[in-house]
A and B are shown apart, each in its own frame.
Chain A
Amino acid sequence: MIRIYRALMLALAGFGLFAFMALAQSPDDARRAEAELISERTSVLPGETVFIALRMTMDPGWHIYWRNAGDAGLPPQLILKETASIADEALGEMMWPLPKLLPVVDGEIMDYGYDDEAVFALALTVPADAAGEVRIEAVADYLICEAVCIPETADVSLVLAVGEPAENVPAGDLIGAWIAKVPGPFEGEARIDDAAAPWTLSLSLAGGFPQGAGVRFFPFEHEISHPADQPQRVGPSGASLLLTPDRAGKVGEALEGIIRVDAPGAEPVGYVIRAERGEVFDGTADTAFVPVAGAGEVAGLSWQGLLSLAGFAFLGGLILNLMPCVLPVLSMKALGMVSAAAGGHAGELRAHGLWYTSGVLVSFGVLALVILAVRQATGFATLGFQLQHAPTVAVLVLIMFAVGLWLMGFFELGASITNTGSGLAGRGGAMGAFFTGVLAAVVGAPCVGPFLGAALGAVMSQPAPAVVAVFLAMGFGMALPFLVLSFVPVLHRLLPKPGKWMNTLKQFFAFPMFLTAAWLLSVLADLAGAGAVGWTLAGATAIGFAVWIGREAGLMRRGAAIAALIAAFALPAVQANVPAPRTGGEPSVPAYAEAAWSPAQVDALLAEGRPVFVDFTASWCASCQVNKLTTLDTKRVKAAFEAADVAFLVADFTQKDPVIADELKRRGRAGVPMYLWYPAGAREPEILPELLTQELVIGLVEGR
């Protein structure tokens, strides 16, 4: 009884901690969200256009809505008060970042919106006669829902000085980052075939969508059933979605909305589409396709959602048993069970299975807590983060290599540094079983990243208890085969008899280890370049040296072995921490030459008789991001640049640069964005407006 009581108390304490964390995050006021107005500038010039934004920070579990809220809910509004010094016309439309799916009742009621944080940018055109200050006083009017909905209003205000422009870099960064999440124009073509239900939305895109990408359509209106699944088909020239019409749903002139593309290992991207009636494009509906992670990234998980996610995690854990980097550890464990079964100790085997399970669960629990801690510290984490951190990858390569050597029998494990892993795992009894479980989880973790990272990405934005639950489910899935084996005596009889083959098998499992190391090396090459790979191979050599010299006893030899081991791990880890030189850059994109700006470079290019476009930009400049999104980064504009052999130069003002500052001053600008266009043969540039359009730029390039 006392034990159960203690377990209960532990569980309660854990729950209390989470509750406390949740409380600590709440804003002080009674509202469920904090609303504020932010601006990329602290002071502005009359007549210019800058970006401001409504920033909403929601309490955990609460959400607000997209421009189309779906089946229930209302989109947020920003309403200017009479006391504002600007008229309604001075503010542009609210820009809606890519929404998430908010399933209210699975398969029946679906909403679209945002949880946690959302930033809605708006263009502010400073009145030409503005003087002194621009005063924006407004009401943020929004419906915020958890299980229940509450309409809230918040008074928000922003005062910008009129005068010499000055940036607000953090706010500009934030606005720019959220503008980048606003769906941009779709580079392909969309058509809707509504001849019969379900309709087919066909999306043709040169080169198709990224491998493994899930696509979900979010309509601007209510032509389709929001909660219905959108079965996806793919082909070499794009994808198509089967849409269930709403009961009175009709396509007017066209079906308009956005598509959300969730590609494995990439941030989701949105595109605005307008699908006119027409037949399904060839090559967009060849084969049925089920994305690994559900497209639309479900937010604010319901219990059902959490359970199904935990179910998938459990299945993932089961599959994990088949992964090359887990199988060897499992084999070690299987060897232990063979001897226990031979001894006829059923009770011992059961205890073994339970200890193994607890070892796996504890490891996954710890991993979950570590990830939560990293998320807390950095604000963001994905499961693959282990594999995005070059030193971690380098060390994993070396561990895989060392384990491979051990499996091969090049060395036996004594009481050296490795005893926390295989040494303990190799011991009989409860401790041995427990640490085999731990080892299985630790060694299996690098496999989890590539195989389940996408599925787990979904849970990363979830509250801490959900993350822990999903990880535990996965751990349980991983441990289950052994647990079953240890509890069902019949299955024990299926276990092979001990014999010489066990050693052969053990040696064989070295090869999956080496292959895993090879794969990790390729990951490392992407992350940190060839230099880091070289250092890691040198580290592997040092491990080999340590094994060789440490074979015989003697203080000198032992010392040398330990020194070599330390060097083997430390040097690659340090060397890998240097970011990879991005030679080649993004391979697929720049069709036209993109180069860093300098006055000399401009002169040289002009001397060649080439037209030059200069983009004065900065990461914290929201307008710059808008122009990038809507104009400069689009296929049409790039194609026009390429056709006219335009040299595209970038002057990056993210870090203050005196040369760029001088140039801006010379052109009468106090800051970025600034766009200069030198037609072929021209000496002096044309200064373009701060807000670009594709038509404007293409018109200039084509000399129209």
Chain B
Amino acid sequence: MQITRRHLSLAAGMAAAVALTAGALIASTAQAAPATGTPAPAFSGVTSAGETISLADFAGRTVVMEWTNDGCPFVKKHYTAPPSNMQTLQKSAAADDVVWISVISSAEGEQGYADAARANELTASRGAAPAHVVLDAEGTIGRLYGAKTTPHMFIITPDGNLAYDGAIDSKSSAKVADIDTATNYVTAALADLEAGKPVATPVTKPYGCSVKYK
């Protein structure tokens, strides 16, 4: 009966594989991402401080969302100190009463995954200053916004419209040296909003590592 037992389990394995395939095919229906100029999708999530925040909490304030993954070389590029590009942006946002939300959509076991303790530790060790770090290991918020890369930046106006969707700057590279010569789209968009103008470059192609979704 040795063969019997082995093949029974093999049969079960194969059946499971087929079932999983069907499931995966059904589950993988693409979602439409929001367009700039339209209301940003409402979300709520749990932060590394244990609070539950939602987009509605920040009505009347400009919100920046930053998709991040500390293991990704493109994210590292912008957190490298000096020049501490991302940290500087976060601090100047805070100074201008802009709400900066870092979102971690890496699934558990994937690169960049962080629980609350690790997320706080990362913020401290890198000298980062986001208002909140949202833990999105299920990828719900990431998929809602259509976040594709780390970093991938979104800016939401005080009245809740999506104003910017795209890359952090104009040089798609993982080299720190390129930060200096690149145009920072987030700085530019925030300046436009501050000046009460529409964002000149509302959409760019984000660059970086793929978001490590579940």
Binding site for B on A (CB under 8 A): 3-4, 7, 71-74, 104-109, 111, 143, 145, 147-151, 222, 225, 227-228, 247-248, 304, 307-308, 310-311, 314, 350-351, 354-355, 357-358, 361, 472-473, 476, 483
**Contacts of B208 on A, CB cut-off 8 Å?**
72
Are A149 and B5 neighbours in the complex by a CB distance under 8 Å? Answer: no
Are A311 and B3 neighbours in the complex by a CB distance under 8 Å? Answer: no
B191 at the interface (CB under 8 A from A): no
Q: Which of B1-36 contact A (CB under 8 A)?
A: 2-8, 10-11, 14, 17-18, 20-22, 24-25, 28-36
**Contacts of B32 on A, CB cut-off 8 Å?**
247
B114 at the interface (CB under 8 A from A): no
Are B18 and A314 neighbours in the complex by a CB distance under 8 Å? Answer: yes
**Contacts of B73 on A, CB cut-off 8 Å?**
143, 149-151
Contact of A106 with B28 at beta-carbon distance under 8 Å, contacts A248-B35, A357-B7 already known? yes
Are A149 and B72 neighbours in the complex by a CB distance under 8 Å? Answer: yes
**Contacts of A109 on B, CB cut-off 8 Å?**
148, 210-211, 213
Residue of A73, A307, A350, A357 ringed by the most chain B CB atoms within 10 A: A307
- Shortest CB-to-CB span from A298 to chain B, Å, is 13
Are A74 and B30 neighbours in the complex by a CB distance under 8 Å? Answer: no
CA distance A179 to B79 in the complex (A): 40
In the complex, what residue of chain A is closest to B142 when comparing beta carbons? A108
3 A-B pairs with the lowest CB-CB distances in the bound complex, closest first: A248-B203, A311-B21, A107-B28
CA distance A534 to B173 in the complex (A): 64
Contact of A247 with B14 at beta-carbon distance under 8 Å, contacts A71-B210, A358-B3 already known? no
Binary CB contact string for chain B from 173 to 214 against chain A (1 if under 8 A, 0 otherwise): 111000000000000000000000000001101011111110
**Contacts of B210 on A, CB cut-off 8 Å?**
71-73, 104-105, 109, 111, 145, 149
7 contacting pairs across A/B (C-beta < 8 A): A107-B30, A108-B31, A149-B74, A151-B73, A248-B203, A314-B18, A476-B14
**Contacts of A248 on B, CB cut-off 8 Å?**
35-36, 165, 202-203
Q: Which of B101-117 contact A (CB under 8 A)?
A: 110-111
- Shortest CB-to-CB span from B161 to chain A, Å, is 14
Are A473 and B207 neighbours in the complex by a CB distance under 8 Å? Answer: no
Binary CB contact string for chain B from 41 to 79 against chain A (1 if under 8 A, 0 otherwise): 000000000000000000000000000000111100000
Contact of A108 with B30 at beta-carbon distance under 8 Å, contacts A148-B111, A248-B35 already known? yes
Are B143 and A108 neighbours in the complex by a CB distance under 8 Å? Answer: yes
B146 at the interface (CB under 8 A from A): yes
**Contacts of B17 on A, CB cut-off 8 Å?**
307, 310-311, 314, 473
Are A311 and B174 neighbours in the complex by a CB distance under 8 Å? Answer: no
Contact of A72 among B110, B143, B175, B207 (CB under 8 A): B207
CA distance A577 to B32 in the complex (A): 57
Are A107 and B209 neighbours in the complex by a CB distance under 8 Å? Answer: no
Are A310 and B71 neighbours in the complex by a CB distance under 8 Å? Answer: no
CA distance A105 to B105 in the complex (A): 13
B90 at the interface (CB under 8 A from A): no
Are B71 and A304 neighbours in the complex by a CB distance under 8 Å? Answer: no
Are A308 and B205 neighbours in the complex by a CB distance under 8 Å? Answer: no
Are A147 and B111 neighbours in the complex by a CB distance under 8 Å? Answer: yes
Contact of A476 among B10, B205, B211 (CB under 8 A): B10
Are B14 and A314 neighbours in the complex by a CB distance under 8 Å? Answer: yes
CA distance A358 to B7 in the complex (A): 7
B149 at the interface (CB under 8 A from A): yes
Count: A-B pairs, CB below 8 Å: 116
In the complex, what residue of chain A is closest to B209 when comparing beta carbons? A149
**Contacts of A314 on B, CB cut-off 8 Å?**
14, 17-18
**Contacts of B18 on A, CB cut-off 8 Å?**
310-311, 314
- Shortest CB-to-CB span from A578 to chain B, Å, is 43
Are A7 and B6 neighbours in the complex by a CB distance under 8 Å? Answer: yes
- Shortest CB-to-CB span from B68 to chain A, Å, is 14
In the complex, what residue of chain B is closest to A68 when comparing beta carbons? B205
CA distance A4 to B73 in the complex (A): 45
Are A222 and B7 neighbours in the complex by a CB distance under 8 Å? Answer: no
Are A74 and B21 neighbours in the complex by a CB distance under 8 Å? Answer: no
Contact of A304 with B209 at beta-carbon distance under 8 Å, contacts A151-B73, A151-B174 already known? no
In the complex, what residue of chain B is closest to A149 when comparing beta carbons? B209
Are B7 and A148 neighbours in the complex by a CB distance under 8 Å? Answer: no
Residue of B24, B71, B207 ringed by the most chain A CB atoms within 10 A: B24
Contact of A148 with B209 at beta-carbon distance under 8 Å, contacts A109-B148, A310-B21, A358-B7 already known? yes
Are A483 and B21 neighbours in the complex by a CB distance under 8 Å? Answer: no
Residue of A105, A107, A108 ringed by the most chain B CB atoms within 10 A: A108
Main secondary structure on chain A at its contact with chain B?
mixed
CA distance A105 to B214 in the complex (A): 9
**Contacts of A3 on B, CB cut-off 8 Å?**
2, 5
Contact of B24 among A72, A73, A147, A304 (CB under 8 A): A304
B88 at the interface (CB under 8 A from A): no
**Contacts of A222 on B, CB cut-off 8 Å?**
205
**Contacts of A483 on B, CB cut-off 8 Å?**
11
- Shortest CB-to-CB span from A222 to chain B, Å, is 5
- Shortest CB-to-CB span from A102 to chain B, Å, is 10
**Contacts of B203 on A, CB cut-off 8 Å?**
247-248
Contact of A354 with B3 at beta-carbon distance under 8 Å, contacts A107-B30, A222-B205, A307-B17 already known? yes
Are A71 and B24 neighbours in the complex by a CB distance under 8 Å? Answer: no
Are B22 and A311 neighbours in the complex by a CB distance under 8 Å? Answer: yes
B84 at the interface (CB under 8 A from A): no
**Contacts of B170 on A, CB cut-off 8 Å?**
none
CA distance A476 to B9 in the complex (A): 12
Contact of A307 with B111 at beta-carbon distance under 8 Å, contacts A72-B208, A107-B30, A351-B4 already known? no
CA distance A483 to B8 in the complex (A): 10
**Contacts of A105 on B, CB cut-off 8 Å?**
210-211, 213
In the complex, what residue of chain B is closest to A72 when comparing beta carbons? B210
B123 at the interface (CB under 8 A from A): no
Contact of A354 with B7 at beta-carbon distance under 8 Å, contacts A147-B111, A225-B30, A227-B30 already known? yes
Given A147-B110, A314-B18: 10 more A-B contacts, CB < 8 Å: A74-B173, A74-B207, A107-B30, A109-B210, A145-B209, A149-B209, A150-B73, A304-B21, A310-B21, A351-B4
In the complex, what residue of chain B is closest to A227 when comparing beta carbons? B30
**Contacts of B140 on A, CB cut-off 8 Å?**
none
Contact of A361 among B7, B143, B209 (CB under 8 A): B7
**Contacts of A151 on B, CB cut-off 8 Å?**
73, 174-175
B120 at the interface (CB under 8 A from A): no
CA distance A150 to B77 in the complex (A): 12
Contact of A247 with B33 at beta-carbon distance under 8 Å, contacts A4-B5, A314-B18 already known? yes
In the complex, what residue of chain A is closest to B109 when comparing beta carbons? A147
CA distance A473 to B146 in the complex (A): 35
- Shortest CB-to-CB span from B23 to chain A, Å, is 9
Contact of A106 among B10, B24, B111 (CB under 8 A): B24
Contact of B28 among A72, A149, A304 (CB under 8 A): A304
Are B21 and A108 neighbours in the complex by a CB distance under 8 Å? Answer: no
CA distance A74 to B32 in the complex (A): 25
Are A354 and B4 neighbours in the complex by a CB distance under 8 Å? Answer: yes
**Contacts of B202 on A, CB cut-off 8 Å?**
248
**Contacts of B3 on A, CB cut-off 8 Å?**
354-355, 358
Are B4 and A72 neighbours in the complex by a CB distance under 8 Å? Answer: no
CA distance A671 to B29 in the complex (A): 56
**Contacts of B148 on A, CB cut-off 8 Å?**
71-72, 108-109
Contact of B10 among A72, A150, A225, A361 (CB under 8 A): A361
CA distance A70 to B27 in the complex (A): 22
- Shortest CB-to-CB span from B39 to chain A, Å, is 14
